[in-house]
Chain A
Amino acid sequence: MSAPALAEQIVRDGPATGPVVLFVLPLFEEANRLRRTVRLAMRALAEREVGSILPDLPGQNESLVPTHEATLSSWRTALADHVAANGRPILIASIRGGALIDDAAVAAHWRFAPVRGASLLKTMMRTRIAGDREAGRDTSMAELEAKAANEAVRLAGNILSPAMIAELREAEPVAIAPCRSVPLGTGEDALPGRPLWLQAEPGEDAGLAAAIADDITTWMTSCANF
Chain B
Amino acid sequence: MIFEGADTVEATVRAVLRDVLGIDEARVAGFDAQTELFGSLPELDSMAVAGLLTELEDRLGITVDDDEVDGDIFENFGALVRFAQAKALG
Contact = CB atoms under 8 A, between A and B. Distances in A.
Interface of A: 115, 119, 122-124, 126-127, 129-131, 133-134, 140-141, 194-195, 198-201, 203
20 contacts: A119-B54, A122-B57, A123-B51, A124-B50, A126-B51, A126-B53, A126-B66, A127-B51, A129-B50, A129-B66, A130-B47, A140-B66, A194-B19, A195-B19, A198-B19, A198-B22, A199-B21, A200-B47, A200-B48, A203-B22
B32 to A, nearest CB: 24
Interface string B38-79: 000000001111110111011000000011000000000000
A70 B9 CA distance: 38
Contacts of A201: 22
B61 to A, nearest CB: 12
Q: Which among B49, B54, B67 has the highest number of chain A CB atoms within 10 Å?
A: B54
Contact of B58 (A119, A133, A199, A203): A119
Given A140-B67, A195-B19, A127 B55 contact: no
Chain B interface size, under 10 / 10 to 19 / 20 to 34 / 35 or more = 10 to 19
A194 B22 contact: yes
Contacts of A200: 47-48
Interface of B: 19-22, 46-51, 53-55, 57-58, 66-67
A201 B46 CA distance: 14
Given A127-B47, A129-B66, A130-B49, A122 B22 contact: no
